[in-house]
Amino acid sequence: MIRGLAPAEERALGQLMCNVYSALPGFPSPTEQPAYYEMLINIGAFARKPDTEVLVALSAADELLGGVVYFGDMAEYGSGGSATQEQDASGVRLLAVSPAARSQGVGKALTHACIERARQRHHKHVVLHTTEAMQIAWGMYQRLGFERATDLDFMQEKLPVFGFRLRLEEPSK
């Protein structure tokens, strides 16, 4: 089940995200980028931004499986580079899936939920970023139709961050 983050889940989701990101080979550690991990641990703060939702995936037993942040207004996206200037777009950031729930379609379901929100807003595309350390997510995004968008690339300190864009089709009339 995919739904909005409940306040009581904020700490658990933040910790899950910190654990997932810090375990990625080649990804900066909490000591290398403490502000980034502070943002992750406080993931619930995104839910209080305008046109922004923190979504969670839950098992049938209400176990937290993962989460993602959806941005209906790119001005709130908050990454480096030019993404915040994108018009007629939604954004996806900070997707994380519990190691125990990998290969079960959780990341795909969270991404689809964001794409559906973008369609409901009649946006023309969805923007996201990933890194070389996130090859599993990178491949999933490409299978979902996201294409590399080098105009969105930027450096996060010493870490290259790569932009992707999914163009949404116009609904049939």
Query: What's domain 2-167's architecture?
Result: 3-Layer(aba) Sandwich (3.40)
Per-residue pLDDT reduced to its tens digit, 113-131? 999 999 999 999 999 999 9
| DSSP one-letter string for 54-90 | EEEEE-TT--EEEEEEEESSGGG---STTGGG-SSEE
Quote the pLDDT of residue 68. 98
Quote the pLDDT of residue 156. 84
**pLDDT under 70: residue ranges of the chain:** 170-173
Per-residue pLDDT reduced to its tens digit, 55-73? 999 999 999 999 999 999 9
Quote the pLDDT of residue 110. 98
Q: Are 126 and 118 in contact (CB under 8 A)?
A: yes
Quote the pLDDT of residue 158. 84
Cite the beta strand spans of the chain per DSSP E. 2-4, 52-58, 64-71, 89-97, 125-130, 147-148, 154-156, 159-167
Give the angle 105-44-166 at the CA atoms, nearest 5°: 45
